[in-house]
Structure 1
C-alpha cells in the first residue's frame, strides 16, 4: 500500500511539473534526519524523545519565486511516559510510533537554490503505539486505572500544519521544520484523554 502511495505521489508530481519545462528547481529530493517528538497533554506525564526521518519528494517551479513540494516521509517517533512498575517504583516507559507522512508544501525562495521557507499540510498515517512487552502492564503514574498497553490504541490518521526553513547549496541543504497535530491523538482512548503531538525535525536534503 505504501509503495502504491509513493508511486502515485511521484507520478502525479512529475506530470504536474512537466508544464514548467526543465527549470533548475525541478528536482527529486532525498531527506535523512532526526526528529524530537512531544506529546502535549495534561492527562499524563510525558517527556520528548528522539527518532528518525527518511523521505522522498519532488520539488518543482510553481509560480515566480514559489516552488511546490510533494513528498512521502517515513518516520519513527519516540516519547516517554511516567509509569510505575510491579513494585510501584517510578519508571519512564518508552513508546514508539512508526508512521508514514504525506506532505504538500509551498516554498518561497528568498535566494534561488540557497534559502527558502516552506509551509503546508501534512497527513500522518500510523498504527498503534509500540511498547516493550516487559513494560505493557506498568501502570500510568497519576492515573493507575490505566496501563502502558492501554495507551497504545491511538488515532490512525493525524493532520499537521507544517512550517520550515531550508538553506544550503544547490544539491545539499539543511532543513528545520516544526509541525503541530490538530486532532486529538488520544481521542480513541476511554477516559476522556486529550493530547496533541508536536514534532521538531532536522533533515539533510540531497537534491538531484
Structure 2
C-alpha cells in the first residue's frame, strides 16, 4: 500500500503541474467506486464478485466536442470458483486480485459538462491471485488434477477495450463502464486453460 500511495502522490504532482498551465480547459478527477468482476472460461465454474476502485484522472479538451482522458486507477477484484474440499463437498473459493490500471480514453460530449460517452484502451498490471490458505488444496470442480492454488499464477498484464457513459454536473458525475480482457489471463498455467476478464464498473468522479 505504501508503494501505491507513492505512485498516487507522483501522479497528483504531475497532473497538478499540467493543471496549473491549463486551468481553463483541464480538470482533475478523483474516482471512487465499485466493480463486478468475473473470469469468463469454459474450463471451470466461476461466479462474479464485488470489489472497489479508487483513482485519479485528467480530462482535457482535445478538439471540437471531444475530450481526452488520462487515468490511473487502483482496483481490487473478486470472483469465485467452484471447488471441492477434502470430503468432496462442493464450496466456492474466493479469488482476489489487486491491480493498477492505466487508461487513455476519448470522450464525446453530447451535453457539455453533463453527458458524454467514452471509449479507449486500458492496461492492467497485477501480481498473482490470492486465496485463503485453507482453500489452497481444494480441488477445482471438473478438474481433479487441478488444485485451487494452481489457478493463482495468472498473466501479469491484461489489455482491455473500455466503453462507458458519464453523466452529472460539472464537478460531480456518475461513470459506468464495461471492459473485457482481450488476452488470456490463464496463459501461464500448464495445459490449455483459457479465461478472459470481464469487468463492470460504477464510479463517482469528483472534478476540480
Q: 2 CA distance for matches of 1:151 and 1:118?
A: 33
**Aligned residue runs from structure 1 range 110-189, under 5 A:** 110-189=110-189
Measure how far apart 1:144 and its partner are.
1.0
The two structures have a TM-score, normalised by structure 2, of: 0.93
Structure 1: any 5+ residue segments left out of the alignment? none
Structure 2: any 5+ residue segments left out of the alignment? none
Q: 2 CA distance for matches of 1:190 and 1:6?
A: 39
Give aligned pairs, total.
205
The match for 1:62 is 62
Q: Contact conserved, 1:13 with 1:70, CA < 8 A, in 2?
A: no
The match for 2:34 is 34
Q: 1 CA distance for matches of 2:175 and 2:40?
A: 24
Q: Show CA shifts across 1:79-126 (max 9, x none).
A: 000000010000000000000000011111100000000111000000
1:77 aligns with 2:77: yes
Q: 1 CA distance for matches of 2:144 and 2:23?
A: 61
The two structures have a TM-score, normalised by structure 1, of: 0.93
Measure how far apart 1:64 and its partner are.
1.2
Instruction: Give the 4+ runs in structure 1 shifted more than 4 A.
Output: 12-18
1:193 aligns with 2:196: no
The match for 1:88 is 88
Measure how far apart 1:191 and its partner are.
1.3
1:48 aligns with 2:48: yes
Q: Contact conserved, 2:99 with 2:125, CA < 8 A, in 1?
A: yes
| CA RMSD in angstroms, aligned pairs only | 1.9
Q: 2 CA distance for matches of 1:40 and 1:59?
A: 32
